[in-house]
Amino acid sequence: MNFTRHKIREFAFQTLFAINANDTTDKELFFHAISKTQDEIPSYYLELVNGVLEHKEDLDNKISEYLVSGWSINRIAKTDLAVLRMAFFEIYYVDDIPNKVAINEALELTKKYSDDHSRKFVNGVLSNAIS
């Protein structure tokens, strides 16, 4: 089965959210569970999940730079943080993804898995980051 990059991002988001909640989550098994297929794991899924996990501290530092006064990484909803980490990873570490695409995809995930307030928050942070 061929997955679109949008669907791969959604699977990566779900995996990163689960790993954040439970450090023992196996990303390969999780991919097969959420995709309901035993097909080969898409390389972009592994690039996103492994990249975010490997660069988590740096990504959190970058996100922190664009938070308004009084906000910290610990205060961000877990869903929003997973989305932001993935978007910042794409913006700073994936050369073939335009920033606009990374932001639009992040907002789509936020729209699906969070609320309008979160979407505005994520959009604000990401807009500040690329301006």
Q: Where are the domains of the chain?
A: 5-130
Cα angle value 124/9/28 (rounded, 5°): 135
Tokens of 29: 């098994």
Question: CATH class for domain 5-130?
Answer: mainly alpha
- Mean pLDDT, to the nearest integer, of 38-55? 91
For residues 100 and 117, what is the distance between their CA atoms, to the nearest angstrom?
Answer: 20
The yes-or-no verdict on residue 14 having pLDDT over 70 is yes
pTM given for the model: 0.91
- Mean pLDDT, to the nearest integer, of 44-66? 95
